[in-house]
Structure 1
Amino acid sequence: MAALLERSTLGRQPEYIAMSPRIADLPFTTLDQPADRDMGKELDLVLAISPLDIPQHAFSTLPFGSWHFSFLDEANADADWYGYEEVIAGKPSTNLCITVRQAGKRDDEMLAEAEFNTKFSAVRNSDFIKERAVTLVMRELRKLTTTRILTTLPSPATRPPLQPPRLGKLLPYAAKVGRNLFARGRQAVAEKLGIGAPPWVLFVGDGRPEDFDPRTAVLLKPDDDELRADPFLFRHDGEIYVFYEAYTPRNTKAHIAVGRLVGNRLESLGIALKAEHHLSYPFIFRHDDEIFLIPETNKARRLEVWRCVEFPLRWELHATALEGQSSADSALFPFAGKWWLFTNLSEFHAYEDHCSELHLFEVDGPNLTWMKPHRNNPVVIGSTEARNGGRPFEHEGRLYRPSQRNEHGIYGYGLNIMEVEEMDLHTYRERCVRTIEPDFYPGIVACHHMDALGGRYIIDAMFADRADLLR
């Protein structure tokens, strides 16, 4: 009853239509009745999508076994309580995994898993992750279609299925959701009145991207009400410049601003790029004696590359790609003799989220005249590691990718440094070697971006309250 009430007020789950490939394009057969078990002789695998499906062990002898979503363990014929435990317990992220049961193997094996930022409502938490489950399983099906090899992961210790929360937990949970909704409503009103914009700011310090200490960072306190995020450093004619997302409490439609870094001060130079839509993440780089800029332009439904006409304030559109798609926080860079593009794509579903999928392409450079997608895109799934958080960098011949750590219900809560262990158009593997949490300066609650150049680094952070910034 609690889940039905919450779904009627907070749920928003229209029909999901995957962009590519569509489920309808794959050779699926639906098994609805026990009598359909004989059809198993013609199948490669069975994908369980309901807790009421035929028992998995009935198909464990198939070539690729029976696949099972973890959220099916928290549902029955009467209720679905998936997502409640994580919200009630205040867990930073919610796990999703797909397991495989095969004949002759004692335990189920892990096929894939991902972690997602826990939402304030259990129904929204569940709906969002089930959307992402479609992307996860489609990727694994594509892998299997290509290789005909089932590759599993080391399985963690299994936990017993969670039971439905009792009334003693549901009442405090309902009160918590109510407080959250009130706070969100108040925030929306404040933003409309021009007093509630997220107070992101920049910090600068001395150090290398692989081991800098954020506790040594100095706040670049703005002279007016300008708020700043997504900073990138760039050297030109012997001086260091900062390109960043800029907005104000009264106007949250951001533009790209630029300033000159002098010691621990930022001298504002003006607006580098402005558009009818929101701009952020000004990924700037030099190639063949020309300067290029890739801002986030997901509202324009394409990726844009701008070329500098007169540094630093005049730019012209140079190339576009991914027309009709929603891309964010893109990074274009050379590595090992090839040009690569990292970008975070989002499909047009109930939750247009750019934090959960990292896509990889090989490209020809800033002209983007051709793009070759990775065979297993998205190469990273999960909001705790997928979204780019700054410029990829090399150290001792190895490639590293800063990424956002979205958890605790906070966008941009923390920052990871991911070491890319293997990368080509057929394989991709990375691991987290460092996590930076928002504990290096009083009053901040998030930090989600960094860049470094010539022994200096720059990082952004968000204060819980703008009043803390003004102190």
Structure 2
Amino acid sequence: MLARNGPGTSPAGADVAFGDAGTAGRIAVAVVLPAGAAPDAGAARLLETLACDARFALAARIEGPRTPSAPPPLVAGLLALEARVAARPPHVPTPSFDALDLPALTVEDALRDMPEVDVVLDLAPAEGAEALARRARHGLWRLSTAADTAGVADALRGAPESRVRLCRLTAPGAAWETLADAAYDTKFLAARNRMFQREKAAQLAEHALARLAEGLLAPAPSADASPEPASATALPGYLARTAGEVGRRLSDKLAERRGRRPGRFCLRLTRGSILEFDHRQGQELDAPAGRYWADPFLFEDGGTTWLFYEEYVYATGLGHIAVGRLDGDGFTPLGPALDTGTHLSFPFVFRHGGDIFMVPETGATHRLEVWRATDFPTGWTLHATALEGTACADTVFHPDGDGYWLFTNICRDSLGDFCSELHLFRADGPDLKTVTPHPLNPVVVGSRNARGAGRITALNGRLYRPSQDNSHGTYGHGLNIMEIETLSATDYRERRVRHLAGPEAPGLIGCHHVDVAGDRVVYDIRRP
């Protein structure tokens, strides 16, 4: 730990005591923060995570004036107005980071007095901070969202996604390298998109630091860490799109109150495999008026194939788990299978030993819940819970050896977004006696492919994970099939081998979930 010298800043020429934070296998990180301002919400969460993770040691706090990147006056005025109305930045406390009591150094202090660290993480970006690259074994790291204008140009031009990058500078004047990048869905309000990208980008730095700690970091070719400039010439088109989006949302709300179903989900049945089914055709199963059906799962038991799914009721704003039976090519709905009075969806059903279990999405309870069948398929009792205080979505178990891999999506932002962080845990089974996080969490980052879209499927000796493509401003815009290339206690890698976009099929705006049992395939689609 640094010794405090004066009121938070070491004067020129003063001796600053640096501890041995980088020894014993720990990654020593110096952080650069904007002088005179609190870190944004994403940076605050990242600082708190690093302060609590035994793999890292926060060795120095460096503060400096931000590098100017102000947008044109008209754009700046618009951002200020939107921020007051719909994008007020939240305050995120950092008790563990604050307890370190690191004094604030200037960039000049750090260049003169700071011993070499592993990483200088520039969250400002501060003027002159590039010179700090020579004080770090793995260089200066900077997020593209650190600039004031990050995310603004994407919203102004109506981009379907916003690309965020984590770049590294190994020496002053050298070319920037890409350490990690991700695409996030573009929010239609520019100020909200800027806030969203800043909060989510911290995941990239967290993931890259975890890979560094595990010896897995692999930089890509050079890239520019600066964001696209925001231009006032894009304002007329932006204002027209914004007015249209606000009008559409109001219209949808009114339609829901009248019993209509804008943007509804419904199910389709077909035959094939997860790599071959055609989302443009199939037997369609639609919910009664005032409801929609989504998140279907198939389960075979006693020679019968059962279909579990979310039934969402517009009047209550809640979903419950429903079940039906497949009879040949027909479908017989049987009604509710699980209804707790809170929102339920994503009914992942699996067998363990002689019992049948369900892991529904129970994000409203802020914990992971496993239910056991007492009178299958409509009688269930709460069996075990884990991850108390954590909102989880779209959880699946995959057996491996004497335990299970648990895949789940977690929200760690102020906008309620579950679509951009995939977390992996090792669990003993449905009893949830041991649930151990993977060292690379979050193992997948970004709106394009992080959120789960069904169970892990084995086919021809390979593992496939369905995931959602939540770009283009549409929840459930498309469906990815990701091949899991590496799944181990120290590493996770996957690649996309198939992509299905809802708009590719006539009359659809989305396709976001799939499950397979034998040669039966069920998936959901989304209609206007």
Q: Same fold (TM over 0.5)?
A: yes
Deviations 1:75-112 (A, max 9, x none): 4xxxx322122223332211111111113994221111
Answer with 103-112 or 334-343: which moved more: 103-112
Native 8 Å contact 1:392 1:402 kept in 2: yes
| Cα separation, partners in 2 of 1:26 and 1:430, compared to 1, 3 Å | farther
Query: What is the match of residue 120 of structure 2?
Result: 46
Q: How far is 1:409 from its partner?
A: 0.7
| Cα separation, partners in 2 of 1:159 and 1:55, compared to 1, 3 Å | closer
After TM superposition, list the pairs within 5 Å mapping 1:384-423 onto structure 2.
Answer: 384-423=448-487
Which of residues 287, 290, 311 is equivalent to 2:352? 287
Q: How far is 1:33 from its partner?
A: 4.7
1:129 aligns with 2:197: yes
Q: How far is 1:265 from its partner?
A: 2.9
In the alignment, residue 162 of structure 1 is paired with which amino acid?
E
1:155 aligns with 2:221: yes
Which of residues 309, 317, 321 is equivalent to 1:256? 321
Which of residues 92, 98, 103 is equivalent to 2:166? 98
Query: What is the match of residue 270 of structure 1?
Result: 335
Distance 1:321 1:159 in 2: 39
Native 8 Å contact 2:144 2:226 kept in 1: no
1:344 aligns with 2:418: no
3-state DSSP class of the match of 2:359? strand
| Cα separation, partners in 2 of 1:28 and 1:152, compared to 1, 3 Å | farther
Query: What is the match of residue 2 of structure 1?
Result: 78
In the alignment, residue 54 of structure 1 is paired with which amino acid?
G
| Cα separation, partners in 2 of 1:459 and 1:328, compared to 1, 3 Å | same
| Cα separation, partners in 2 of 1:231 and 1:376, compared to 1, 3 Å | same
Native 8 Å contact 1:220 1:265 kept in 2: no
| Cα separation, partners in 2 of 1:371 and 1:172, compared to 1, 3 Å | same
Q: How far is 1:224 from its partner?
A: 5.1
Deviations 1:134-192 (A, max 9, x none): 23223333444x34x572332376598522312x2113212322322232233334434
| Cα separation, partners in 2 of 1:304 and 1:18, compared to 1, 3 Å | farther
Distance 1:24 1:134 in 2: 18
What number of residue pairs does the alignment pair up?
Answer: 452
Unpaired stretches in structure 2, ≥5 consecutive residues = 1-76
RMSD (CA atoms): 2.4
Query: What is the match of residue 91 of structure 2?
Result: 15
Q: How far is 1:391 from its partner?
A: 0.9
After TM superposition, list the pairs within 5 Å mapping 1:168-317 onto structure 2.
Answer: 168-196=233-261, 198-222=263-287, 225-317=290-382
Q: How far is 1:452 from its partner?
A: 0.7
Native 8 Å contact 1:90 1:408 kept in 2: no
Native 8 Å contact 2:176 2:225 kept in 1: no
| Cα separation, partners in 2 of 1:221 and 1:263, compared to 1, 3 Å | farther
Q: How far is 1:436 from its partner?
A: 0.9
Distance 1:441 1:251 in 2: 31
| Cα separation, partners in 2 of 1:12 and 1:159, compared to 1, 3 Å | closer
Query: What is the match of residue 179 of structure 2?
Result: 111
Answer with 365-374 or 29-38: which moved more: 29-38
Deviations 1:434-459 (A, max 9, x none): 11111454321011100011101011
Distance 1:32 1:177 in 2: 42
Query: What is the match of residue 56 of structure 2?
Result: none
1:37 aligns with 2:101: no
Q: How far is 1:318 from its partner?
A: 0.9
3-state DSSP class of the match of 1:232? strand
Which of residues 145, 156, 167 is equivalent to 1:71? 145
| Cα separation, partners in 2 of 1:26 and 1:391, compared to 1, 3 Å | farther
Q: How far is 1:15 from its partner?
A: 1.8
Distance 2:502 2:362 in 1: 27
- Percent of aligned pairs with the same residue? 38
Which of residues 425, 430, 434 is equivalent to 1:361? 425
Query: What is the match of residue 49 of structure 2?
Result: none
Q: How far is 1:119 from its partner?
A: 0.9
Distance 2:255 2:94 in 1: 36
Distance 1:266 1:105 in 2: 65
Native 8 Å contact 2:267 2:525 kept in 1: yes
Which of residues 368, 381, 384 is equivalent to 2:445? 381
Q: How far is 1:202 from its partner?
A: 0.2
3-state DSSP class of the match of 1:333? strand
Distance 2:158 2:219 in 1: 27
| Cα separation, partners in 2 of 1:12 and 1:161, compared to 1, 3 Å | closer
Deviations 1:118-145 (A, max 9, x none): 111111111111111223223333444x
In the alignment, residue 439 of structure 2 is paired with which amino acid?
R
Native 8 Å contact 1:197 1:252 kept in 2: no
Unpaired stretches in structure 1, ≥5 consecutive residues = 465-471
Native 8 Å contact 2:131 2:172 kept in 1: no
Native 8 Å contact 2:130 2:172 kept in 1: no
Native 8 Å contact 1:214 1:440 kept in 2: no
Deviations 1:326-360 (A, max 9, x none): 0010001203553110011112x421211111110
Query: What is the match of residue 467 of structure 1?
Result: none
In the alignment, residue 141 of structure 1 is paired with which amino acid?
L
Deviations 1:15-62 (A, max 9, x none): 23579xx65577977444534421343433322222443231343352
In the alignment, residue 458 of structure 2 is paired with which amino acid?
E
In the alignment, residue 246 of structure 1 is paired with which amino acid?
E
3-state DSSP class of the match of 1:132? helix
1:329 aligns with 2:394: yes
Answer with 93-102 or 80-89: which moved more: 80-89
Distance 2:436 2:332 in 1: 40
| Cα separation, partners in 2 of 1:268 and 1:196, compared to 1, 3 Å | closer
Normalised by the length of structure 2, the TM-score is: 0.80
Max radius of gyration: which structure?
2
Query: What is the match of residue 371 of structure 1?
Result: 435
Native 8 Å contact 1:65 1:103 kept in 2: yes
Normalised by the length of structure 1, the TM-score is: 0.89
Distance 2:320 2:112 in 1: 61
Distance 2:122 2:513 in 1: 39
Native 8 Å contact 2:143 2:164 kept in 1: yes
Distance 2:301 2:283 in 1: 23
